[in-house]
Structure 1
């Protein structure tokens, strides 16, 4: 090889290594970007991948904030748990190391006890009723009930779909579910639901569900239609039961330390941007759930929607779960049930 060629190869390798060096930080810790001039740079964390409704909503939030502040406040969105898993992220929010996060309601309920009302099975009769509750006085009061000692502020709700059962064999009624091994979230509430609906609760990590279904370790699982299809569970569990047993939203949290550092004007812009971005998130959920359902049907899956008699049987079976929560939040439960 000539000396000229060697020099050319070295130059190309150098450029490749430099390019790799610039790319690496995106997957390693994501240090806070440096502001330019008087610009304020804030960070938002979420577990979801790019293109997921939550991230679409988060990016809309960032765009609105930047536009309304004329670029003076910039929000950097970090998907794919780049800034950590949810529990760690909530701790960083409390210390002001992260500014915003959209976290699952189950975790947030540990610092917002009233949110547990939304986790009661079948408390919402429809998607429209659920969002009327979230957007109205009930939802606002629950956001305001967050434990202030945790240094967090709850700004709004993002959609997280409606949890339903999906199985390897047909389930069209409560009787069909009896005795099946269903993967659930590791929590007392889900264990209680399993007891009342008479299926066998089998907690396991999300990454193990596919193989669990494939090998028969579990007979089914429960989650949203979008989760079911995006994780390819429709390949190994062909029956989806639209019972909509839970409509627990994600919660948009802010660090109180961050909010306190901002001007009143900027805080109001942040709150407005959250509300506007909620609409974007919900629209994306509706579109992607519709696409996911069409994909499942095209793949030969059977989607069963319960009639009023069928859903009534599930609701009746879970009535005992309401008793304990009713002792603390009976008035909230009644208000939700009276919302049309």
Structure 2
């Protein structure tokens, strides 16, 4: 069965990546269910362990958001939602970012309060198999067990996020990195209490809270800018996505084009492209030429779901046009004929 993102049919590589990503998100939820339970049972009054437990709870948000978004984006566009449902990915990304930011800010205040007030959390003993055991050993053992899988999950998801251009999956991979760093910080905090450094626990909790807050800020900023239609970027928001340059390069190579500039909107997994074309003097592109150019642009990258080709007399400033835009005095419509402002919307 062929897999789609809405009306965009996925190539075989991306189809396999999507199915693998779904499996790994379910693996992540199963792992987190066990980890959250174990940490809750042993966390005692340690601030670092409490912060680690809350961080594990928050780690549920990205995989749940991804699984929900994948189901929603598979819906085909409707009259009410003509662009499809790809924006659900951005909404899920925003919700995850807000949750991380809010909880990180709360934990920083809580940790700082404990550090300033000089709270010394007691770690008692429990009887296990008839023997008294310091609870700190169990805390550190549980946290050590939660380190390997997040490292593995994070590496796999980062690769899949690149394949699928999925920023929620990338946020989840980033969260997996925070998970194992949180576990390591908790071990340091509990060990510090064991050797008499009472402040180590609050300091470790503060480190964990700072990591959560940073993840929240980064994902919140990326989600907001995507929903505001900033220019399309790579899956990690590191640089502009190269698809715009590829589309422009192809269109500039056509014999009937003079200047080309595109703006690309990130819809979630796929892009909406508006390509503005200034034809050669005394050239008026035919419908056949425009349709051929459309089809070739779609072949450039599977993420090009919709593309509009707009023949125009001068490029808009935001896509490289002149900063001193003046109204032309010539009658462009009469010179170039009825194809002057032809727009073609591409849909699979």
- Fold equivalence (TM over 0.5): no
Bigger relative CO (Cα 8 Å, ≥ 6 apart): 1
Q: Report the TM-score when normalising by structure 1.
A: 0.22
Considering only CA atoms, is the larger Rg found in Structure 1 or Structure 2?
2
Q: TM-score, normalised by structure 2?
A: 0.22
> Comparing both structures, which one devotes a greater share of its residues to strand?
1
Higher relative helix content: 2
